[in-house]
Chains A and B, each alone.
Chain A
Amino acid sequence: MTTTAKVKGSTGRNGSSTVASPGTLKEDLVAHLRQGREELRGEWVRAMTASGNLWLDSLTAREQELESVEVYDTCVDCLDSGSYRGAEEFAARMARRAAVGAMSSERFLGGMLALRDVYGRGLLRRFAKEPDRLNDALGIFESVVNRILVIVAMAFNTERERVIRQQQEAIRELSTPVLQVRDRLLILPIIGLIDSDRARQLTGQLLDAIRRLRARVVVMDITGVAAVDSKVANHLIQTVDAAQLLGTTVILTGVSPATAQTIVTVGVDLSRMQTVGDLQGGIEAADRLLGYRVIAAEPGAEPVVPATVA
């Protein structure tokens, strides 16, 4: 057992050329795994099928072979070269596959664990008659396998976090659309809760849209805002003030009776804001400000907007 400490201390590195050096043992290991590839790979595929793992099930026989060869070789390469780039890339690819639903982390991890067992049993068979070397070989093998499994788990984790970030971004983008309804007229329907983060982001988006589309009037509709307290009202006032600094008139619509009661009761001063009952009224008021007149195309039909002259 004198060699054990030496081996464990320098696992994974190409060592000196003494008989029991980790280098030779490792080379021996690699050679063994390479030679026994077909046998061990077949064993792995069978183990997977037996355990009901569906990783390889959806693939054709040819794809199955290619994929299992790739997994097998990637792992052996890691052992051989001490570099885990291949494993990282492969795991990242699998994680991306999982993100589109073509793979699950359970299947992949289960498969990798099954492969570990197959390798382990292979080693047991190879070194059955040399318990000392078996111990050293397992030492080398286990540290590599553990590292690969960590890489796999991290890859799935990273991919999942990326997807979550992307979705959060999408929700944030979706939650405050700024829509152009006519030349120089925008509507901003606000739905949901308004906190200071959202208010800041909403204001930023509105101001950018005002600049980009050269808006003169914005109708801000708060029908979808469940609760308006003094904090929310102040956020709205700030948004309106900022838009006014850009020369845009803001019309606030959709103040529900309950909201109106709260606003007046808590004493928030919205008198500087132009308010209209509903979105339709707001757009009509904006039309008047912009000098538009909406009239029915068919003669004799009811005009949508009473003919107001700008």
Chain B
Amino acid sequence: MPVPILTQAPYLIASVQAALTDADLIGLQNGLLDEARRRRCQGVIVDVTALDVMDSFSTRTLQSLAAMLRLRGVETVIAGIQPDVAMAMVRLGLTMPDVRTVLDLDEGLAYLQARQQGSTGRGQ
């Protein structure tokens, strides 16, 4: 199932609704890069609240997606990793040290806004 990409100017929100196949992930990566260029957005939030599995491929894809977007000056935030998913990821050694993760969509927006205003001291 392809992931819908919503705009909440100046940010993009990709709301993952169901388990992702590898093709879906590549599609998401391409879609977000295209949209980010077209809409000149400043931040991307990938909401994974609905996901109950994160494997090594999706973790790596999300990390490289963040790295690619960063090259275009876009900040990426992963929102809504479930506690169980987080525990499983840590046990598998899948952490995302270079990507900002937040509790939920609200936090993601607050983080991006705070960043844009250049304020420091919020979160990391």
**Measured between alpha carbons, how far is A246 from B79 in the docked complex, in Å?**
8
With A210-B83, A241-B90 as contacts: A249 and B124 at CB distance below 8 Å = yes
**Measured between alpha carbons, how far is A99 from B79 in the docked complex, in Å?**
49
What 1/0 flags go to A49-88 for Cβ under 8 Å of B? Answer: 0000000000000000000000000000000000000000
A292 CB, nearest partner CB in chain B, Å? 11
Task: Say yes or no for B101: interface residue by CB 8 A criterion.
Answer: yes
Task: Say yes or no for B89: interface residue by CB 8 A criterion.
Answer: yes
**Measured between alpha carbons, how far is A211 from B124 in the docked complex, in Å?**
18
What 1/0 flags go to A241-266 for Cβ under 8 Å of B? Answer: 11111111100000000000000000
A-B contact count (CB 8 A): 65
In the complex, the answer to whether A246 meets B86 with C-beta atoms within 8 Å is yes
Within 8 A of A (CB), among B73-124: 79, 81-83, 85-87, 89-91, 95-97, 100-104, 107, 121-124
**Measured between alpha carbons, how far is A207 from B89 in the docked complex, in Å?**
13
Task: Say yes or no for A306: interface residue by CB 8 A criterion.
Answer: no
In the complex, the answer to whether A246 meets B91 with C-beta atoms within 8 Å is no
- Return chain B residues, CB-CB under 8 Å to A244: 95, 101
**Measured between alpha carbons, how far is A211 from B104 in the docked complex, in Å?**
9
The residue on B at minimum CB distance from A288 is: B121
With A246-B81, A291-B121 as contacts: A210 and B87 at CB distance below 8 Å = no
Task: Say yes or no for A11: interface residue by CB 8 A criterion.
Answer: no
Task: Say yes or no for A214: interface residue by CB 8 A criterion.
Answer: yes
With A242-B89, A289-B123, A291-B121 as contacts: A248 and B103 at CB distance below 8 Å = yes
The residue on A at minimum CB distance from B108 is: A247
**Measured between alpha carbons, how far is A211 from B84 in the docked complex, in Å?**
11
In the complex, the answer to whether B100 meets A247 with C-beta atoms within 8 Å is yes
The residue on A at minimum CB distance from B96 is: A245
- Return chain B residues, CB-CB under 8 Å to A247: 79, 100-103, 107, 123
With A245-B90, A245-B96 as contacts: A310 and B101 at CB distance below 8 Å = no
- Return chain B residues, CB-CB under 8 Å to A168: none
In the complex, the answer to whether B121 meets A207 with C-beta atoms within 8 Å is no
Contact of A245 among B86, B107, B123 (CB under 8 A): B86
Task: Say yes or no for A204: interface residue by CB 8 A criterion.
Answer: yes
Task: Say yes or no for A173: interface residue by CB 8 A criterion.
Answer: no
Contact of B87 among A242, A272, A289, A291 (CB under 8 A): A242
**Measured between alpha carbons, how far is A246 from B90 in the docked complex, in Å?**
12
A307 CB, nearest partner CB in chain B, Å? 15
With A204-B87, A207-B87, A289-B121 as contacts: A245 and B103 at CB distance below 8 Å = no
**Measured between alpha carbons, how far is A247 from B97 in the docked complex, in Å?**
11
With A210-B103, A214-B103, A245-B101 as contacts: A200 and B87 at CB distance below 8 Å = yes
In the complex, the answer to whether B121 meets A246 with C-beta atoms within 8 Å is no
**Measured between alpha carbons, how far is A247 from B48 in the docked complex, in Å?**
13
The residue on A at minimum CB distance from B111 is: A247
**Measured between alpha carbons, how far is A211 from B96 in the docked complex, in Å?**
19
Task: Say yes or no for A176: interface residue by CB 8 A criterion.
Answer: no
With A200-B87, A207-B83, A207-B87 as contacts: A241 and B123 at CB distance below 8 Å = no
Task: Say yes or no for A41: interface residue by CB 8 A criterion.
Answer: no
With A200-B87, A241-B90, A242-B86 as contacts: A249 and B81 at CB distance below 8 Å = no
Q: Which residues of A contact B (CB under 8 A)?
A: 200, 203-204, 207-208, 210-211, 214, 216, 238-239, 241-249, 272, 288-289, 291, 310
Q: Which residues of B contact A (CB under 8 A)?
A: 79, 81-83, 85-87, 89-91, 95-97, 100-104, 107, 121-124
Extra pairs beyond A204-B83, A247-B79, A247-B101 (4, CB < 8 Å): A242-B87, A245-B85, A246-B101, A247-B103
Enumerate 10 A-B pairs (CB-CB under 8 Å) in ascending A order. Answer: A203-B87, A204-B83, A204-B87, A208-B83, A211-B82, A243-B86, A245-B85, A246-B102, A247-B100, A310-B121
